Amino acid sequence: MYDNQRDLLLKESDRFPPPQGVRLSYGTAGFREDASVLLSTVYRVGILAALRALKTGKRIGLMITASHNKVSDNGVKVADPSGGMLTQDWEPFANALANASSSQDLVQLIIEFAEKENILLNGSKSAQVLVARDTRPSGELLLDAAKHGIGSIIGVVAHDLGILTTPQLHWMVHVRNKGLNGSERDYFHELSSSFRCLFNSNPNNSEWKLKDWDNQLVVDGANGVGGQKLEMLKEMLNGLAIEIRNSGKGEGVLNEGVGADFVQKEKIVPLGFGSQDVGIRCASFDGDADRLVYFTVPSESSNRINLVDGDKILSLFAIFIEEQLTILAARTKATKIDFRPTLGVVQTAYANGASTQYLKALGLEVVFTPTGVKYLHEKAAEYDIGIYFEANGHGTILFSDYCISVLQPLYWELSDVSSGSKSHKAALRLLAVTRLINQAVGDALSGLLLVEAILQHKNWSIQTWSELYQDLPSRQLKVKVVDRTMVETTNAETEVVKPPGLQEAINSKIAKYPKGRCFIRPSGTEDVIRVYAEASTQEAADDLATSVAKLVDQFLGVGSSN
């Protein structure tokens, strides 16, 4: 390392001293903490992103967000050149950087790591990191720290994209690394034009109908960035009739009593919604708009909702894709192109058991990974068409390069042999989905448009969709413990291996409940152990979750559960 690089790093990092007594860990979705302790972490992640940009020679993304966490928290995560999550091999380095106790230690770590990874720190190469933030008040200052981190590596510059949803930033990294423009306008154009294409491929629809389209969709923007961006998208769809509430214009606090996480976990009506919405199709985004769930308010007299979660979105997408593939399979014999893509569905242990049973009964291949998009995404990418969703509403559909490269010529061939036919339209629809659905990460905006297009296509109400299968009653609880890293799990997080004896104790509780299923795992985004339970009745699921939460308390020391 040249002296000027070392001096710059020392000087800059002295401005961002690490917090005392806080141990940071790159969890399920980057670093998350109370925003007041994050300046040095974000500065250091800026350095990491810059090194990653030099290593790959491509644009890297850095996002300041704490997604569904409370407004006083914030966080930072890195997007790799594909637009996906940071490669897992760099996570130990991220942890070491964040926890280095002095500027000297930090510089030493950087020197050693750069040597190991063959990254030249002599300013001979240039690179770019795209940075953005959500609407959290702490975001501006943290973004500034990130820019200082990026600027501490000579040759690397930060390109500030301002306030974006998390999936917008990932999309921009993905698209720009393919040599395309990737502005926010391009993003909205891609979503709106592919949505129009899907909408018009339904014989009962036409462009002029878009405006008069069933206006009974109300979206809860979690008082975050998603509501504002949906307003912009609406403009590009000629004022598509969607009502947006909790749009972050001073109606309430980010994620407080609103948003996808609240709706999915509490299963009660979010603020701003109520008796006036009975029976109407409603949707909720989370704070950074990478999660989407739907719901209805079944009755005026209760605040309970009927949840249509990520598992049901996944099921809707899977049915639609499978349908188009079946239409195509019948016709591709007439063309020279043999198109038989592999289709796989990826879930986590949080998927409702009824959804897994339903998907398997459809003949689909269903696989499980640990919690966290990085695992699901990686697995889904093994298929030509991989559909992944977390129950909380984070998910997308990935199309392999092979798949996209075959669909286009197939579409043209079909337009020769049977233009306007069912198969021709099926190819058109699949192509539209490849453009509409975010290929980098789960995206509430593009997911919403795809759900809406499919419901229109099938002429389904939200009730018909929701009745595809009946969810097994479930309950999620969080337990505060002294040290959540005391819990270690295996088998896609469904079994505890540490502390010894805890899994046996959980098993004996599960055995008491018909259709009982329960597991615990340390959260990667909050300082808690999560408990998930399912059983044949709500009361039984509640009891099972509560009794296992008590076990966690007994095994892992003093704490309170909620």
Residues that bind ligand NG1 (CB under 6 A): 28-29, 67, 350, 371-372, 390, 392, 394, 523-526, 530
219: which strand partners?
A: 244, 283
What angle is formed at CA 205 by the lines to CA 189 and CA 394, rounded to 5 degrees? 50
| Identity of the residue numbered 12 | E
- If the CB atoms of residues 257 and 279 are measured against ligand NG1, the closer one turns out to be 257
Cα separation of 303 and 245, whole Å?
17
Q: How far is the CB of 418 from Zn ion (least distance, A)?
A: 43
Q: Is 21 annotated as a binding residue?
A: no
Q: Which residue in 280, 251, 283, 245 sits closest to 264, CA to CA?
A: 283
Does 40 participate in catalysis according to the annotation?
no
**DSSP one-letter string for 480-511:** --S-GGG-EEETTTTEEEESTTHHHHHHHHHT
Tokens linked to 76: 């930072």
Q: How far is the CB of 519 from Zn ion (least distance, A)?
A: 22
Cα separation of 357 and 318, whole Å?
14
Could you say which of 13, 40, 67, 103 is catalytic? 67
CA-to-CA dists, residue 91 to 21, 348, 398, 427, 447, angstroms: 21, 21, 24, 40, 29
Q: Is 409 annotated as a binding residue?
A: no
Please name the helix (run of DSSP H) or strand (run of DSSP E) that holds residue 62, with its range, or none: strand 60-64
- If the CB atoms of residues 85 and 364 are measured against ligand NG1, the closer one turns out to be 85
User: How many residues at the interface with Zn ion, by CB under 5 A?
Assistant: 4
Q: Is 423 annotated as a binding residue?
A: no
67 binds Zn ion (CB under 5 A): yes
Tokens linked to 303: 């605040």
Q: What residues numbered 126-185 form the site for Zn ion, per CB under 5 A?
A: none
Q: How far is the CB of 240 from Zn ion (least distance, A)?
A: 23
Per the CB < 8 A criterion, the answer to whether 31 and 25 are in contact is yes
Helices 444-458 and 310-331 pack at an angle, to 10 degrees, of 60
Q: Which residue in 379, 523, 360 sits closest to 29, CA to CA?
A: 523
Q: What residues numbered 247-286 form the site for Zn ion, per CB under 5 A?
A: 286
Q: How far is the CB of 525 from Zn ion (least distance, A)?
A: 9
Please choose which of ligand NG1, Zn ion, none residue 80 contacts, taking the beta carbon within 5 to 8 angstroms, the exact cut-off set by kind: none
Please identify, among the stretches 110-118, 130-138, 290-298, 322-330, the one whose residues bind Zn ion according to the rule CB under 5 A. 290-298
Q: Is 288 annotated as a binding residue?
A: yes
Q: How far is the CB of 534 from ligand NG1 (least distance, A)?
A: 13
**DSSP one-letter string for 318-345:** HHHHHHHHHHHHHHGGGSS------EEE
- If the CB atoms of residues 72 and 523 are measured against ligand NG1, the closer one turns out to be 523
Q: Is 286 annotated as a binding residue?
A: yes
Please choose which of ligand NG1, Zn ion, none residue 155 contacts, taking the beta carbon within 5 to 8 angstroms, the exact cut-off set by kind: none
CA-to-CA dists, residue 335 to 20, 339, 424, angstroms: 67, 10, 11
Please choose which of ligand NG1, Zn ion, none residue 288 contacts, taking the beta carbon within 5 to 8 angstroms, the exact cut-off set by kind: Zn ion
- If the CB atoms of residues 32 and 509 are measured against ligand NG1, the closer one turns out to be 32
Q: Is 340 annotated as a binding residue?
A: no
Identified binder of Zn ion from the candidate list 80, 134, 290, 493, rule CB under 5 A: 290
Sheet with 156-163, side-by-side order of all strands: 31-34, 73-79, 60-64, 127-133, 156-163
- If the CB atoms of residues 28 and 324 are measured against ligand NG1, the closer one turns out to be 28
356 C-beta neighbours (distance < 10 Å), count: 17
Tokens linked to 429: 């629809």
Please choose which of ligand NG1, Zn ion, none residue 392 contacts, taking the beta carbon within 5 to 8 angstroms, the exact cut-off set by kind: ligand NG1
288 binds Zn ion (CB under 5 A): yes
Q: Is 499 annotated as a binding residue?
A: no
Q: How far is the CB of 395 from ligand NG1 (least distance, A)?
A: 10
- If the CB atoms of residues 350 and 513 are measured against ligand NG1, the closer one turns out to be 350
Show binding-site residues for Mg(2+). Answer: 67, 286, 288, 290
Q: List interacting residues with Zn ion (CB under 5 A).
A: 67, 286, 288, 290
Which parts are annotated binding residues for substrate? 390-392, 521-525, 530
List the catalytic residues: 67
